[in-house]
Amino acid sequence: MSSRAKIRLYVEHPLGAGQTVPLSRDQAHYLFGVMRLAEGAQVALFNGSEGEWTAEVVEAGKRGGVLACRDQAAPQMMPPDLWLLFAPIKKARTDFIVEKAAEMGAARIIPVQTDFTNAERIRQDRLQAHAVEAAEQCGGTFVPPVDDLQKLDRLLADWPEDRHLIFCDESLVGARAALEAAPKGEKWAILIGPEGGFSETERDRLRSRSYCTAVSLGPRILRADTAAVAALTLFQSTRGDW
């Protein structure tokens, strides 16, 4: 088996021994114009479901190219069945949340509009691209889907009863103990609120749900992007695959 290629690329194409993979114009520009690869160079490919494959450049051009899969370098690694729900904030910090969620093992990323959310729209395609880039850079073989912005109350109205929701509420204490005491289950979600916190109506609605556990992330009020990383870390170390 060949050594692991250093350049990784996410592709929406089947992967397997002998499989050829055509490149888009942007991918060709990145590999041949930016990274200066030539025919015979190796690239690590993954598509989110078939692991990582070492591929060889067999055609290189300015507007396209072709890679050929040689062997599997790593098996598919799926994250825990964990969703991250968060209220979008300033552009760069929202990008940060999506990138870190992809790196840290979220299986699905759902931007939500709460009573105090400032953003009324997002660029879903741009956030999805950030998730892809994060997976490429961190060695992951799975890319979490990023949903379009949804209203929190509508999402809760159709919430699956078998998915436990961790509600991060700055008014509480004892996050680790609360997580450890939460009912056993394989399906989870974390909810991070906006910069202004949750409204009392939202708090009451969440606390009334049997599938919801309210937790605190410590005695200090965290920024929304920091809270997302802290909550993911706490979950992964307590209930996840770390």
The percentage of residues in the chain with a pLDDT greater than 70, rounded to a whole number, is 94
Per-residue pLDDT reduced to its tens digit, 5-44 = 999 999 999 999 999 999 999 999 999 999 999 999 999 9
Interhelix angle 224-238/91-104, rounded to 10 degrees, is 10
Q: Which helix (H) or strand (E) holds 14?
A: none
- Same-domain pairing of 134 and 213: yes
Q: Determine the structural domain holding residue 223 and report its residue range.
A: 82-238
Per-residue pLDDT reduced to its tens digit, 101-144 = 999 999 999 999 999 998 888 999 999 999 999 999 999 999 99
- Same-domain pairing of 99 and 67: no
Domain count, the chain: 2
For the CA atoms of 227, 190, 211, 172, the dihedral, rounded to the nearest 10 degrees, stands at: 0
End position of a domain, from candidates 51, 74, 97: 74
End position of a domain, from candidates 25, 54, 74: 74
Q: What is the reported pLDDT for 1?
A: 45
- Same-domain pairing of 59 and 106: no
- Same-domain pairing of 67 and 86: no
- What does the pLDDT average to over 213-232? 88
- Same-domain pairing of 117 and 58: no
Best CA proximity match to 108, nearest among 84, 138, 79: 84
What are the φ and ψ backbone dihedral angles of 72, each rounded to 5 degrees?
-85, 125
In a domain, 3, yes or no: no
Alpha carbon 33 to its chain centroid, in Å, reads 28
End position of a domain, from candidates 74, 99, 131: 74
- Same-domain pairing of 69 and 92: no
Torsion sign across C-alpha atoms 215, 221, 227, 233: negative
